[in-house]
Homo-oligomer: A and B are copies of this chain.
Amino acid sequence: MVKIFKRSVLFIIVFILFTVSASAKNLNSMYQVSTINALMQGVYDGDVTIKTLQEQGDFGIGTLNGLDGEMVVVDGKFYQVKSTGKIELLKAEMETPFANVINFKADKVGEIAWARNFSELEKQLDAIIEDKNYIYAIRIDGTFTGKTRSIPAKEQPYPSLMEAAKTQSVFDIQNTKGTIVGFWCPDYIQGINVTGYHLHFISADRKSGGHILSGAIRTGKVQVARVREFKMILPSSMAFQNAALNKDYSKELNIVEKSK
């Protein structure tokens, strides 16, 4: 009877899904600074402080003015993964050109068992998310193996994100306990935010992390919050006013998000 489970199945998907049904009516307001296309175009200075982000959420991702590293926000703590690999707590007066935060409250929880690569991880998360017409905040606490990156700060005149990403530091992370923090956005958010998964990592000891380029999860506890309120602040800077925001940068974005 056990034979009906083919061997390969053992390597693919084993997850348990619970629905915390009562909380599915949460608005789960996500607060966003600027648009991804503005970031793609080199709009690296914003006028929103970390203090403002702290008022809007306790969980999220982003970057800092000048594209100075990767932001990871978890349990109300705001971290900067620098391009040196060092992780520091952000100061309230620092500013961000692009960030997404939310007061994280899970609507659904699940388990990841052996997602051997990023595409398997995506498939397992897809099955937990289900309804694909909302944005989702995603938290995974588990053991991560993979590559992350952080980009060193840039000077004016700013290069595009495609150019800037060529200077990224890549970190090789092995069997490290920590938290994956990020979002999933539907295609209709294209131009405004990254469509699909956009995940950052921070280790439990807060000594490694960054934007996830690729990776695997041995075991992980997944928590997902369905976003029903989306709040976006647009910068008033000349750089934002002059950026070409209406072009389709999907291809470039895919390179920037995944290339090592």
Chain A residues with a Cβ under 8 A of chain B: 24-25, 27, 35, 37-38, 131, 133-134, 186-188, 190-192, 227-234, 236, 240-243, 245-246
Contact = CB atoms under 8 A, between A and B. Distances in A.
A242 B133 CA distance: 8
Contact of A188 (B228, B242, B246): B246
Contacts of A246: 186-188
B228 A229 contact: no
Contact of A233 (B188, B229, B243): B229
Of A27, A35, A188, A227, the most chain B CB neighbours within 10 A belong to A188
A109 B244 CA distance: 26
A134 B186 contact: no
A132 to B, nearest CB: 8
Q: How many copies does the complex hold?
A: 2
B241 A230 contact: no
A40 to B, nearest CB: 11
Contacts of A35: 188
A243 B188 contact: no
Contacts of A228: 233-234, 236
Contacts of A230: 230-232, 234
Closest 4 CB pairs of A and B: A187-B246, A188-B191, A230-B232, A131-B241
Given A133-B243, A241-B131, A241-B133, A236 B25 contact: yes
Contacts of A236: 24-25, 228
A59 B228 CA distance: 23
A245 B190 CA distance: 12
A149 to B, nearest CB: 26
A191 B246 CA distance: 13
Contact of A245 (B133, B231, B241): B133
24 contacts: A24-B236, A25-B236, A27-B233, A37-B188, A131-B241, A133-B234, A133-B240, A133-B241, A134-B234, A186-B245, A186-B246, A187-B246, A188-B192, A188-B246, A190-B191, A227-B234, A228-B234, A228-B236, A229-B231, A229-B232, A229-B234, A230-B232, A230-B234, A231-B231
Nearest to A27: B233
A85 B188 CA distance: 34
